[in-house]
Structure 1
Amino acid sequence: MDTPPREILSVTDHLGDRTLAAAAAMGERAAFETIVHRYGPLLYGYVRRMISDRDGVDDVVQETFIAAWRQIDNYRGESALKTWLFRICDRKIIDSRRVRYAEPIDDRLIDPIDPSADSNPAVVLSNTEFLAALERALAELPVRQRAVWVLREIDGLTFPQIGVTLKLSPGAARGHHHRAQSTLRLRMQRWQQ
């Protein structure tokens, strides 16, 4: 999709998700592009934490939005648009794994810390070590637990939204999150004060 100038998108930026989805279902490209701008960064962050191949991340996000564009007229507003997009994205991640199932998963939570951001070398080293330890601990979690933890703690979804996204009951999503939290708490004891 060609990206229109930002001033065109600003006309639709204030619209709610259901209005945007309805307009996109009628073929309104600017409405769908607003959806892409609104939720693209969230989806990109989620996919980046679930697969290791950087090119694969871009492909999965792009495939998610292509599928969403093709299926937008099926969106009925029964769940939040964000949840609907995450569900499509999760299926694309699974499809990607079928192709690249042997690749390890990279669970970076944030980009590496910029050493110039803090002049105290001990703080920079401690933060870097903490993030590396957290990445290792997340990589050891079962995939479903990791997905639930990332969706809850990083992307801020509720357990019902996570359940819809990953095709789990809210209770099962809560259980996966609890087990992930317990495992991470044990593995990260060194960092707890």
Structure 2
Amino acid sequence: MVRTYQERLYWHIRKMVLVHDDANDVLQNTFMKAWKGLDNFRGDSQISTWLYRIATNETLSFLSQKKARMMNSFEDVEELMLQNLQADTYFEGDEVQLKLQKAIITLPEKQRLVFNMRFYDEMPYEEMSKILDTSVGALKASYHHAARKVEDFLIKE
């Protein structure tokens, strides 16, 4: 299970948390939670959908905790994410990708999640709906708003 889904889940998480070490921590928590809950997997959906849901919940939980810690220390979350992004060697030399990531950072968490799942993972809305427990219509609207915000950001840059 780990070998099959590790890379896809890592990048799903990494696009949200941006920092390699944080993504690895969240990924490890995801697989630990999946392993502990394997007996409860009913097979109502594909195992990949179930794992994406766990990874998504773990990622959002991690981001909420990080935001709470930063609120206590009065740091600007978006500014810190931008600094981490600019320091990331993954984006060295790829100015277009860096600008796109800067635009994506400005999105609210849920819109960022929907945008990443649709734009990068090319995930069908129906599968996203199962993972996020949200209607297809709401996901389409969220993606449309996110894409417009990203486009506006890129035009201004």
* Aligned 1:9-48 pairs, distance under 5 A: 35-48=1-14
Higher relative contact order (CA 8 A, sep 6+): 2
Instruction: State whether structure 2 residue 99 is matched by structure 1 residue 133.
Output: yes
Partner of 2:141: 175
Root-mean-square deviation (Å): 2.4
Q: For 1:154, give the aligned amino acid.
A: Y
TM-score, reference length from structure 2: 0.79
Q: Measure how far apart 1:87 and its partner are.
A: 0.6
Partner of 1:59: 25
Which has the larger share of helix? 2
Q: Measure how far apart 1:147 and its partner are.
A: 0.3
* Aligned 1:144-159 pairs, distance under 5 A: 144-159=110-125
Q: Measure how far apart 1:45 and its partner are.
A: 0.5
Number of residues of Structure 1 aligned to a counterpart in Structure 2 = 143
Equivalent position SS for 1:188 = helix
Partner of 2:131: 165
Q: Which consecutive residues of structure 2, in runs of 5 or more, have no partner in the other structure?
A: 71-76
Identical-residue share of aligned pairs (%)? 28
Q: Which consecutive residues of structure 1, in runs of 5 or more, have no partner in the other structure?
A: 1-34, 114-123
Asked which structure has the greater CA Rg, the reply is 1
Partner of 2:73: none
Over residues 130-159 of structure 1, what are the superposed CA-to-partner deviations in whole Å (9 max), with x where a residue is unaligned?
A: 122111111111111110011111112111
